[in-house]
Structure 1
Amino acid sequence: MEKRNVDVAIIGTGTAGMVAYKAARAHTDRIAVIEGGEYGTTCARVGCMPSKLLIAAAEAAHDMKAAELFGVHAGDIRIDGRAVMERVRRERDRFVSFVLESVESFPEQHRVSGYARFIDPHTLRVDDNLEIEAERIVIATGSRPSVPDFLRAAGDRLIVNDDVFNFDDLPSSVAVFGPGLIGLELGQALSRLGVRVHMFGVSGDLGPVKDAGIRDYALKTFRQEFRLDPDAKVSKVERTDDGVAVTYEDPERGTVTDTFDYLLAATGRRPNIDKLDIQNADIELDERGVPRFNPYTMQCSARHIFIAGDVNAELPLLHEATDEGRIAGNNAGAGHEPRVGLRRTPLSVVFTSPQIATVGMSIDEVDERCRGCFEVGEVSFEGQGRSRVIGKNQGILRVYGEQGSGLLMGAEMFGPAAEHIGHLLAWAVQKRMTVSEVLEMPFYHPVIEEGVRTALRDLNHKLNIEPEMVDRCLECGPGA
């Protein structure tokens, strides 16, 4: 058994692990980064980038079909599924190659191939041939799709998002289970590319949306394109000679059995913690078996162990994994009392059409923080000038402000250009601007952002601003 001693051991080379390695290496060269699977981040291989490639193809097809609105007639539209998927894979592989180049640039003596597990709080065994004793450890093992047992009856026709991007051709039909971020993006994209899609949920939730008004609007809009039941009553899933048979209750037709080529399980992700023998690390775990940690230092209850990225099951987003990896890597590398790192205003975007964006606090969080003393401003994009000009006039934006201070607390949006508007609002929330201060910013004409101004004006009109309250809240933060 080979043995090695290092200052820092990092388990995993996804986004969080790669960033943690680079941050830790600024402090020490006695470091090991351990990877049991393929190099390459979730984002590049099976997440952000390949999904956006599929969505881009779907948007191109949809825009051609929608061109008649402008008096433009494109004729017969033919979708070449093989060509669509060939581009997705080709460009996906290109993005992955950049990640591989980055990891392979790490010095060879720092890279360890194999699966790590804890022997004791400071010792990792990699496969059965190496033991690494580390002063400090960063867990950055990521996550994987989580599939409920009852869906496994679909057999070889059960797929997860990872599998979609390896299709040689587009299927004719897919049952999507899970109308979360992944399910909505892939489900709508497949539908727009000519695949028959039926989406099933179990809790009534729709993506990251918490605002009931936006949820209802989005649900109605998506249903214009594909079948979507966010609170479905599914009684049976069965592999048949024709594919996957799904039996469910239909409000109008009663018990219905429908058959699909594939069943896509977009039912969430689970942290890759279960094969680490985490019980030997002597750290406190939550009810899910995930280490408890300080989100500002990424430190676990054992002070020499840190956790970053999807594995902590908190904010499974690339930009959050980057921040967490940097904080964890800096603290592990430095070896001194951990320092608080920058955590940014929450921002999430779903690349459906219309897009979904959530910024800052949700409406429930604002209600809890402000004890009901808040107001909501709203705008509909159905009549918004620029949105009507370009034929993308579906959606609403709702912004939340605190009574007394006038602080902008958060927002939710389902509408055009939400990926851009979400950034503008997140910057304003992070700078702790009041609604009136945001309204002092420039707004060009005619642009979609004018809708933001309309919503903020609506909110500002409803707020009662007390100057002394503004001073106090700017010192103490939102909800003070």
Structure 2
Amino acid sequence: MITKQVDVAIIGAGTAGMGAYRAAREHTDSILLIEGNQYGTTCARVGCMPSKLLIAAAEAAHHHRHTDMFGVASNDPEIDGRKVMQRVRAERDRFVGFVKESVEGFKAEHKVMGYAQFTGPNTLKVGEDLVVEAKKIVIATGSRPNIPGFLHGAGNRLVVNDDIFEWEELPASVAVFGPGVIGLELGQALSRLGVDVRMFGVGGAIGPIKDPEIRDYAEKVFNREFYLDPDAKVESLERTENGVEITYQHREKGLITETFDYVLAATGRRPNVDNIGIENAGIELDERNVPVFDRYTMQTRSLTDSGGSRPSHIFMAGDANNDLPLLHEAADEGRIAGDNAGRFPEVRSGKRRTALGVVFSDPQIANVGLSIQEVQERCRSCYATGHVSFEDQGRSRVMGKNVGLLKVYGEQGTGLFLGAEMVGPGAEHIGHLLSWVAQRRLTVSEILELPFYHPVIEEGVRTALRDLNSNLQLGPAVIERCMDCGPGA
């Protein structure tokens, strides 16, 4: 058994881990980056990039079918599933290669392959032959698909998003469980590529949507392409010799039974902290056995003999902390965690960006800043909303993409722009614009002073903001009245 002593140990070499490594290197050369499986981030290998490659193929097929409105004759495209998946895998491997090149640039003595297990607050066992004693530790172990028990009835026809990108051919039918970000993106893409898709959810949620009006609109729109029941009643699911037989309550046909080639579990992800001996780390855990941490410093809390806790030398970053499982957030968190691990016991709060989420469905979904529930909690009754439909928005109609709804939220008294939620065309771009002005803490009137070109989809944003502005009451008297509404109102 070999023992290695380091100043900082980082568990996981994904987006957060690499960010932590680079930040910690600014403070110390005594550092070890531990990777248990393979180099290449979740985004590059099984997430953002391969899914967008599949979506790009699906959009090409969809556009080919819908050109009649422009006076251009259309027909069903001939989809070569094998070629579709060949491009997905080839380009995916290219993106993974870039990540591997980055890791190869790290010093050899700073890297080790092997699964790490806490054996104490400052000690890690890596594989069978190495013990690492570290003064500071960053946990950046990522996440993995979470699969409800009943889906295992699908047997060898149960897949997760990781598996889809290894397909050499497209199947005839897929039942998707989970209309979240992954389910919506992959399910719609498969449907547009000729796969027969049904999508089932629990509790009524669709993607990250929080505003009930936006959610209801999205449900109607997606059901135009494939069957989507966000609160499905599934009676049974079992593997048969013909595939996976599912009996469920169809909202129009009643109780029916259908057979699918595969079941895709898009039922969320769980943090990889249950397999690293976290109980030996001596830190405070929440009810899910995930470490409690400060999202501005990434610092966890050590348990004390008196039953309390104090700031710890262990930091959390990326999907492992189960906070905001997005690449740009993981990169930010990695930098914050690595910087604080490197300078510990001095710890600094890092800059967190305005919340921004995008679903690359069609129409796209975007959420910016505070959700409607967070606005209501912050402002009680002292807020206003504005909205715009994209069904009659000029540029959207020109392009034949006139499907969508945007809602924006503002604070009474100050006129501060608080957040927005949208399903519609160009949401990935509109979301960015609105997140920028939210982070700059602009008021609605200040945003309306910014330039809007004609004719562009962004004119719809101006329409929604004008509607919001007309519903806002401004001035000291309103601010004083709203002081009684609650915290921050």
* Class of the TM-score when normalised by the shorter of the 2 chains: over 0.9
Distance (Å, rounded) in 2 between the aligned partners of 1:125 and 1:250: 51
Answering whether residue 326 of structure 2 is matched by residue 317 of structure 1, we say yes
Q: Report the AA paired with residue 237 of structure 2.
A: V
Q: Could you say what secondary structure the match of 2:125 adopts?
A: strand
The equivalent of 2:167 in structure 1 is 167
* TM-score computed with the length of structure 2 as normaliser: 0.96
Distance (Å, rounded) in 1 between the aligned partners of 2:329 and 2:208: 16
Identity %: 67
Distance (Å, rounded) in 1 between the aligned partners of 2:74 and 2:244: 36
Q: Give the one of 319, 332, 356 matched to 2:365.
A: 356
- More deviation in 73-82 or 164-173? 73-82
Q: Report the AA paired with residue 387 of structure 1.
A: S
Q: Could you say what secondary structure the match of 1:86 adopts?
A: helix
* TM-score computed with the length of structure 1 as normaliser: 0.97
State the Cα deviation string for residues 98-148 of structure 1 (Å, max 9, x = none): 001111111110101100011110001101211111010000000000000
Distance apart, 1:320 and its partner CA? 0.3
Q: Could you say what secondary structure the match of 2:330 adopts?
A: helix
Q: Give the one of 433, 450, 458 matched to 2:459.
A: 450
List aligned pairs for 1:139-158, cutoff 5 A: 139-158=139-158
Answering whether residue 176 of structure 2 is matched by residue 176 of structure 1, we say yes
Q: Could you say what secondary structure the match of 1:198 adopts?
A: strand
Q: Report the AA paired with residue 433 of structure 1.
A: L
State the Cα deviation string for residues 70-104 of structure 1 (Å, max 9, x = none): 01114452111011000000000000000011111
Distance apart, 1:341 and its partner CA? 0.2
Q: Could you say what secondary structure the match of 1:244 adopts?
A: strand
The equivalent of 1:63 in structure 2 is 63
Point out where structure 2 has 5 or more consecutive residues left out of the alignment.
Answer: 303-311
Answering whether residue 249 of structure 2 is matched by residue 249 of structure 1, we say yes
Q: Report the AA paired with residue 182 of structure 2.
A: I
CA RMSD of aligned residues (A): 1.4
The equivalent of 2:26 in structure 1 is 26
List aligned pairs for 1:45-444, cutoff 5 A: 45-302=45-302, 303-444=312-453
The equivalent of 2:306 in structure 1 is none
Distance (Å, rounded) in 2 between the aligned partners of 1:39 and 1:224: 40
State the Cα deviation string for residues 448-473 of structure 1 (Å, max 9, x = none): 00000000000000000115778999
Distance apart, 1:252 and its partner CA? 3.4
8 Å Cα contact 2:356-2:366 kept in structure 1: yes
- More deviation in 464-473 or 391-400? 464-473
Q: Report the AA paired with residue 427 of structure 2.
A: A
Q: Report the AA paired with residue 361 of structure 2.
A: T
Distance apart, 1:182 and its partner CA? 0.2
State the Cα deviation string for residues 4-34 of structure 1 (Å, max 9, x = none): 1100000000100011001101110000000
- More deviation in 50-59 or 253-262? 253-262
Distance (Å, rounded) in 2 between the aligned partners of 1:472 and 1:97: 58
Q: How many residues are aligned here? A: 476
8 Å Cα contact 2:412-2:479 kept in structure 1: no
8 Å Cα contact 1:402-1:479 kept in structure 2: no
